[in-house]
Structure 1
């Protein structure tokens, strides 16, 4: 079962966290202030009410009538307060009225065994508490909004730095050796982002040094093998005719081709290769080259266009794509040219999943459906040459019509070369080349 994942930016996570903390703090403080204010006001009301009933009691004991709404033996007097007064003690009692306004009772015993009581609704206290609650709500909302704004500001700065670091890391991953994540992040503030940038730069430098060392070793080995392989080919030519001689020559030729491919891969890995540009009519150029390299392949020019590219490297890419289709695919092989896009399709079992997922890899030919011979350098070289041209080489499989009848089945493999609209270098441009027979 596929898990549901919610993708959000660090800016909004920080904003949400600060706003949530601000809301919790504001609510907690509001409750404390509300409770403390209410208790303080009610205590003041108790003291005032008790003082008033004491004054009225002295007037009643002097023979005067109760004033300010005080009553003797009030039947509505709460039972708990009545019992307390009859026991000879003074007291107060608070109860909520039907309107939600607190009523404060005060009662004192009289000399003749009667109880004098006084009660009032403290609307002023209720209004003050209500006004205080409004102020607390407004203050809490202001705190949350201010915290959210601060979170957006802080999170935005961190997010921008991380995005710059990610963009720089992507450029490093795509083979730009001059990019440094620490320089791309910049800024005056020093935080964990700088530590991450330094770590990525250190890792990129270490990987670059290791790749450069491997490239040099590979190039040196291949270069040293050229001389003995050439000698082996020369010696094979001197052998008497026969089947053993043909086998020796064939293997020597295969070894020579492998050495040349390894040298070419090493040169492409060095990122020092530059395209020698010429203006070429792409449809005419591809049609003639495909006819020369694979006469049985069909060519269709949907839309021709003049492109500025390196004809030698473009021919190398086409040759490797056609050789891959002939070796691992099945006929017919179709080549379509549409503007700056060249498609090469066969009708074989399709590209391996590893190649579709990770791209071409040297010395790996994929599954047994498309393997068995070769060293996996053809598509690697084609991709490297496309990179020198500033082009993009993609791979996909064609689905079986009517649905897939078995796992991994395909109706053919398609390699697509996307040539750029602008030349990758400024090495010069020449008039359109008219290729002759």
Structure 2
């Protein structure tokens, strides 16, 4: 069973990489063709869909790169390039990079050895996912080693809380395209993969008064026997 699961995971990873690379060429052609359309609403709609497809392709390429990094991580027990960082300062740039609104609160700052670029990518993806699948206001809080992104929408669906991000899962358990866990949702996949490379823990929950809560915990792992690699890097 373990061998079958590993084979399934590897097949899924190869599929992700192949799809991403195969999409690049036709997307380039579509972009050039769209530039020839006369100005107007139809041209804007086509260009908007091309941009959405380009973002999806970029996300797929990011996931395929993460798959490779995680497999190396499992094989060699290596971590991301890390330096001692304050956790408060990267929060504001991470939000600005998304172009979206989120209140940033630094309740308790601290220093930890981590990769600032990856940290900002995780926080940015969580903020973007909160806007895409939840409702404002979106709040990013840094409290010691835990950074939390919370929105005020309908919360995460049960399958996401039970099983974590699973790539290509496109609908909530009810079959309706509403709320967290709908759409391609690859932002959470990338956030979960980047968190794993950082050696961090990404926890998903729902607030008692409504809204989805994503906690990135950078508490260093307790040294101990190395566990066997497990499949990861799904996303929704």
Per the TM superposition, whether the score is higher than 0.5 is: yes
Give the structure-1-normalised TM-score: 0.45
Deviations 1:27-46 (A, max 9, x none): xxxxxxxxxxxxxxxxxxxx
Residue of structure 1 in register with 2:150 after alignment: 345
Give the structure-2-normalised TM-score: 0.80
Given that 1:230 and 1:256 are in contact with CA atoms closer than 8 Å, whether structure 2 keeps it comes out as: no
1:261 aligned counterpart, secondary structure: helix
Q: How does 1:49-198 map to 2 (within 5 A)?
A: none
Deviations 1:173-209 (A, max 9, x none): xxxxxxxxxxxxxxxxxxxxxxxxxxxxxx3233323
Distance verdict in 2 for CA 1:340–1:254, change over 3 Å: same
1:229 aligned counterpart, secondary structure: helix
Q: Is residue 2:208 matched to residue 1:399? A: yes
Distance verdict in 2 for CA 1:281–1:291, change over 3 Å: same
Unaligned runs of 5+ residues in structure 2 are 74-78, 224-236
Unaligned runs of 5+ residues in structure 1 are 1-202, 401-410, 425-437
Q: CA deviation at 1:264?
A: 2.0
Structure with greater Cα Rg: 1
Deviations 1:26-76 (A, max 9, x none): xxxxxxxxxxxxxxxxxxxxxxxxxxxxxxxxxxxxxxxxxxxxxxxxxxx
Q: For 2:86 and 2:192, how far apart are their aligned partners in 1?
A: 22
Q: For 1:314 and 1:284, how far apart are their aligned partners in 2?
A: 11
Q: For 2:25 and 2:116, how far apart are their aligned partners in 1?
A: 29
Q: For 1:208 and 1:373, how far apart are their aligned partners in 2?
A: 26
Q: CA deviation at 1:336?
A: 0.8
Q: Is residue 2:4 matched to residue 1:206? A: yes
Q: CA deviation at 1:280?
A: 2.3
Q: For 1:358 and 1:292, how far apart are their aligned partners in 2?
A: 29
Q: CA deviation at 1:294?
A: 5.2
Residue of structure 2 in register with 1:374 after alignment: 183
Q: Is residue 2:72 matched to residue 1:272? A: yes
Distance verdict in 2 for CA 1:204–1:361, change over 3 Å: same
- Which has a greater percent of helix? 1
Q: Is residue 2:48 matched to residue 1:250? A: yes
Higher relative contact order (CA 8 A, sep 6+): 2
2:90 aligned counterpart, secondary structure: helix
Q: Is residue 2:100 matched to residue 1:301? A: no
Q: For 1:249 and 1:205, how far apart are their aligned partners in 2?
A: 44
Q: Is residue 2:190 matched to residue 1:384? A: no
2:4 aligned counterpart, secondary structure: helix
Given that 1:215 and 1:266 are in contact with CA atoms closer than 8 Å, whether structure 2 keeps it comes out as: yes
User: For the aligned residues, what is the CA RMSD?
Assistant: 2.4
